[in-house]
Amino acid sequence: MLEKQTTFDRLQRIRLEGGLLPEVTLLNDLIKLLNRRRTTQGKRVVRILEKMLEIEAMTKPLTGMLWPAMSLKKTDPKKFQLLVEIDQKTAQLNQELASYRFRPRAVVGVGGGGGPSEWVAWWKGDSREKRDPQLRMLPSEALELILKLTQIGYLTRLRRCTLCNKWLYAKIQHQTFCSSTCQQKHFTQRPEWKAHRRAYMRDRYHRFLKNPLRIRKPK
């Protein structure tokens, strides 16, 4: 009985790996795919991600099991309705996910030398996928990485730029722009900055009227 329990405990710690190699460019490759999305498969990945982020936003303020128990219909009808809506959107999400096929792969990595050999097993996306020649990542690999991000609580790090609406991966939690260029453009479009700029130009104009020789254009 003890031996069976030990085996069970070991099996609990094992997770069959996906087909993604641990490369440092993975997140950049994912963002490029999300922003390019010219193929049908790429557009589907974006739809799935948007649906997941929508569900994430709906469930974030809730606690406990997210199940629309009928008892809530009387005790907390608003929460019940919200849970029903979440359940419906989750069903739509899983319907989208059902279009993907992952096949198991296995090879012997190291011979056993008389003992058990070391196997490598993983799930691989459908080989019939069309690869965009300008992208390093397949749609199935992008989906796999997105699902891995959900498991470490980083799904919401995938978001759209506040200014240009392109996808980005937020390296820090409060990042909302894809580049410093977009950040600066957004800042200069704020009413406060425009008001400050107008006041500065008025002051500069009045100083020029008083002493036109002091304010010259740089050579």
- Give residue 8's pLDDT: 66
Tokens for 21, please give them: 């190699």
Tell me: pLDDT of 215 over 70.
no
- Highest average pLDDT, of 15-29, 75-89, 94-108, comes from 75-89
Overall average pLDDT of the 8-31 stretch? 77
- Give residue 186's pLDDT: 82
CB-based burial label for 156 (10 Å; 0-12, 13-18, 19+): middle
Q: How far apart are CA 140 and CA 45, in angstroms?
A: 8
Number of H helices and number of E strands within the chain?
8, 4
Tell me: pLDDT of 218 over 60.
no
Q: In Å, what is the CA distance from 211 to each residue of 198, 200, 203, 205, 207?
A: 20, 16, 12, 10, 6
Which parts of the chain are beta strand (E)? 102-110, 118-125, 158-160, 167-169
Tokens for 191, please give them: 């009413």
Tell me: pLDDT of 165 over 70.
yes
Query: pTM above the 0.85 mark?
Result: no
Q: What is the pLDDT of residues 170-184, one digit of tens each?
A: 988 899 999 999 988
